[in-house]
Amino acid sequence: MRLFNKVAIVGVGLIGGSIALDIKRKRLANKIIGVSRHRETLSLAYKRKVIDEGSQQIEVVRDADLLILATPVNTILNLAPRIAQNIRRDCIVTDVGSTKEEIVLKLERKFRLFVGSHPLAGSEKRGVVNARPGLFKDSLCILTPTKHTNAKALKKMESLWRQMGAKIFFLKPSVHDRVLSYVSHLPHVVAFSLMKAIPKEFLRFASPSLKGTTRIAASDIELWSDIFLSNSKNINKAIQALEEQLLKIKSAIYKKDRQRLVEVLKAAKSKRELLI
Amino acid sequence: MRLFNKVAIVGVGLIGGSIALDIKRKRLANKIIGVSRHRETLSLAYKRKVIDEGSQQIEVVRDADLLILATPVNTILNLAPRIAQNIRRDCIVTDVGSTKEEIVLKLERKFRLFVGSHPLAGSEKRGVVNARPGLFKDSLCILTPTKHTNAKALKKMESLWRQMGAKIFFLKPSVHDRVLSYVSHLPHVVAFSLMKAIPKEFLRFASPSLKGTTRIAASDIELWSDIFLSNSKNINKAIQALEEQLLKIKSAIYKKDRQRLVEVLKAAKSKRELLI
């Protein structure tokens, strides 16, 4: 089902590239143009048939009827004014950023038909080299409409994500950021902190459990700095909530209070079992 | 290569059962006897050909020349006096517990030929139903000899673990417990705390990264309470080290100090990359 004519993707990385591959495989658009600062990214994306055409010039977005912003948050905000001068009036604009409140507020001022999206399908891997069709199948995608969101544009974005196999949720940008600070940003803070806390000379004894717990500490630093800084208040609250739980466990251990310790661990375990 | 005649395994769970399967597959002993409090465990282990004989009576360990204690730490300590009355004088005794200082000190007083072992191959799964041959292949096994350890017994235990494919390290019990408090116990504390901190209603938005980070929060509660309590001082220090790192990230986020934040995350990422 063709939903768009020409799709422009700014930032052809893991997410941007995987969207492109799905759009092609499912024939959801006639043409895909990739925009990147890096010539090598574009030529790799072209060789792997991720995009039909690549350019380092933002002006190529001119004829697109869908524009997908898939660079880190900061880059999106920097590019927005120039993009806004170049797109068609009826071009739907979306992003795939991991925080929403700030970016939705700013981008819906710039773009008439803006719809915020957040596909929860990233990993510690990055780059078009890791892009693959089917990345979004059975993953979650949160759309963050506001009172300014155009209903038709929202509907079209919903169709696009559904065609790629994602399960759609709708959340207000502020609610999105609060939820994500717990289910995604806090685990990253924890993984980074845990790696940092472990003495280097102990790493040769790393068990599978340590590796699993810290896999995401290998994530992209610039991307995650952006995320942490653009959702600072929520993340700091989430860190505090974690610290409270650490304190509970620490104090039960310190007091050798087995009953209390079992109680806390049980509550955690039964919650974890809800996640399959 | 037959290393033993009759092996008795007290506690036929994931670890005990997997050792039994490897011993049989590689013909490292003539006979394996399983001891468990639970009749169902014994009959399941017998049906799955994990053991040659099962008993709820500890007295069956009488003729064994190798005794493997594979129950949680507390149970081991409770059973030790009765076992000591029943074994042969030349029976090598080992355990597979996750903490070593307390248990090695106590067990080498009870057993003439005691060698402490810790195979780093557990997971959130448990029970003989999850036992499998090859569990220890390419995993680490830490042996914790002391000045009281019999050299021949140590050599034999080393052979046994090598035959099962484990990479052997030797650490003093106290060093083992400090190392493990960071590389294994702290990740579990973190996973439990993280699960506990996340509001239940947010769990439907769980991403793959949250699932990976908290998988081990589904681990056995009794086992982990034992571990936390028997290594309390080291674990509390490790938690403090983690809290310091959390504070660094929290304060960089709060102050919007991007440079400092990037610095901390980079150090964590480059350490994580050492783990593959």
Across the 276 residues of chain A, what is the mean pLDDT of every consecutive 10-residue run?
A: 95 96 96 96 96 95 96 88 94 96 95 96 84 95 98 98 97 98 97 98 93 95 93 98 98 97 98 92
Q: Is A88 helix (H, G, I), strand (E, B) or coil?
A: coil
Q: Cα–Cα distance between A144 and B171 in angstroms, integer?
A: 54
pLDDT of residue B166: 97
Tokens of A269: 């375990």
Q: Between residues 161 and 190 of chain B, which touch chain A (CB distance below 8 Å)?
A: 169, 179-180, 182-184, 186-190
Candidate from A191, A202, A275 with C-beta closest to B211: A275
Q: How many CA atoms lie within 13 A of B133 on its CB side?
A: 12
Enumerate the residues of chain A whose CB falls inside 8 A of the CB of residue B276: 211
C-alpha–C-alpha distance, residues B40 and B37, integer Å: 9
Q: Give which of A124, A137, A183 to mutate to test B binding, by max B Cβ within 10 Å.
A: A183
To the question of pTM greater than 0.80 for the whole model, the response is: yes
Contact assignment for B271 to A245 by CB distance below 8 Å: no
Distance from CA of B245 to the nearest CA of A (A): 5
Instruction: Locate B20 and state its tokens.
Output: 């039994």
What is the rounded average pLDDT for all residues in chain B?
95
pLDDT in tens, B240-260: 999 999 999 999 999 999 999
Q: Catalogue all structural domains in chain A, each as residue range(s) with its CATH number.
A: 4-172 (3.40.50.720), 175-275 (1.10.3660.10)
Structure tokens at A34: 């990739």
Q: Which of A120, A194, A214, A227 to mutate to test the interface with B (most CBs of B within 10 A)?
A: A194
Are B229 and A261 inside 8 Å of each other by CB? yes
Instruction: Retrieve residue A13's tokens.
Output: 């990385």
Q: What is the mean pLDDT of chain A?
A: 95
B105 touches A: beta carbon within 8 Å = no
